[in-house]
Structure 1
């Protein structure tokens, strides 16, 4: 995919408040069968939030490609998969994807795309509410807007928002971590 394939997202300031915030203590189900509480994870954690993954047997919502920031969830996940070893080498202890989709729906994406990390479900947008994450309503569903958080020992150190050209986001995260030096 190229930039021409995406509706450009505009920075509406919806994530400006996140840097420096502590992650709330919430146990969220993950596709690996465990619950994840981002507040309790030590070390460096990358969490990329996305609206929804597609499935080959289910049509996307009408005009999905026309919604700024909607298209590109699978390329973003695949890029984090492809950069996973590099992220680990740069000091990242955990990588997670985050959406409001069901764990079963996300588990299908993990298996089909061979993701080496878990996807986490924010049912009822509890995490989104606690952090006031940017979201959108599409076809009666509350979906997260695409953003990426770098969390160190439970505190948000950096955010990427809006994420434009989702497949480039993992590389941007790696570039930022490299720029931080060996302390990242």
Structure 2
């Protein structure tokens, strides 16, 4: 399967590293569950092995307009290309040692389920609609259209502890390949 969307990244504002994720490596994940599009509650802190969690801001429905000013927000555009890249690399990520793969946003589970179905994702998306997980980890966020949204980042977690953070992520469609390269050079026994 290939990406469903091609983006000219030269026309999108590039996010800068504002240091908002510099505290995350070595941090233990909070001990509570998030709602998953698979219908299960997932407690990330209890998962054995390596887990890849990519956070994205907001997925729109295909027939809905973009949020006003969305394309001008550095790092905001690219949720679908990022998810499709993780979909396309999911088997390779597992072969390289990722026992689990999740997408994470502050969107409601119904919106996320629509995206899983539409994009044919082979992994669940997690909802932090309450912002409990986001606030517990002090994940970087921004405001748009009255919503608190996650800035794009990816965490590799090992036995509940954040081992590696990719932040900022740009271009989003290359994030999965970057994570795969890191996993291949940092294999666990």
Q: After superposition, give the CA deviation of every residue in 1:44-64 in whole Å (9 maximum; x if it has no partner).
A: 000000001121121110111
Aligned to 1:53, the other structure's residue is in SS state coil
The reply to whether residue 175 of structure 1 matches residue 181 of structure 2 is yes
Aligned to 2:131, the other structure's residue is in SS state helix
- Residue 100 of structure 1 corresponds to which residue in structure 2? 106
The reply to whether residue 76 of structure 1 matches residue 85 of structure 2 is no
Q: After superposition, give the CA deviation of every residue in 1:62-104 in whole Å (9 maximum; x if it has no partner).
A: 1111100100000000000000010010011000000000100
Q: 1:17 aligns with which of 7, 23, 26?
A: 23
- Residue 164 of structure 1 corresponds to which residue in structure 2? 170
Q: Give the RMSD, CA atoms, in angstroms.
A: 0.9
Aligned to 1:124, the other structure's residue is in SS state coil
- Residue 120 of structure 1 corresponds to which residue in structure 2? 126
Q: 4+ residue runs of structure 1 moved beyond 6 angstroms?
A: none
- Residue 38 of structure 2 corresponds to which residue in structure 1? 32
Alpha-carbon offset, residue 7 of structure 1: 1.1
Alpha-carbon offset, residue 136 of structure 1: 0.3
Report matched runs for 1:115-154 at 5 Å.
115-154=121-160
8 A contact 1:6–1:165 mirrored in 2? no
Aligned to 2:156, the other structure's residue is in SS state strand
Distance 1:29 1:100 in 2: 11
Distance 1:115 1:43 in 2: 21
Distance 2:113 2:188 in 1: 33
What is the TM-score normalised by the length of structure 2?
Answer: 0.95
Alpha-carbon offset, residue 5 of structure 1: 3.5
What is the TM-score normalised by the length of structure 1?
Answer: 0.97
8 A contact 1:84–1:116 mirrored in 2? yes
- Residue 54 of structure 1 corresponds to which residue in structure 2? 60
Distance 1:39 1:47 in 2: 12
Alpha-carbon offset, residue 169 of structure 1: 0.1
8 A contact 1:2–1:165 mirrored in 2? no
Q: Which runs of 5 or more structure 1 residues have no equivalent in the other structure?
A: none
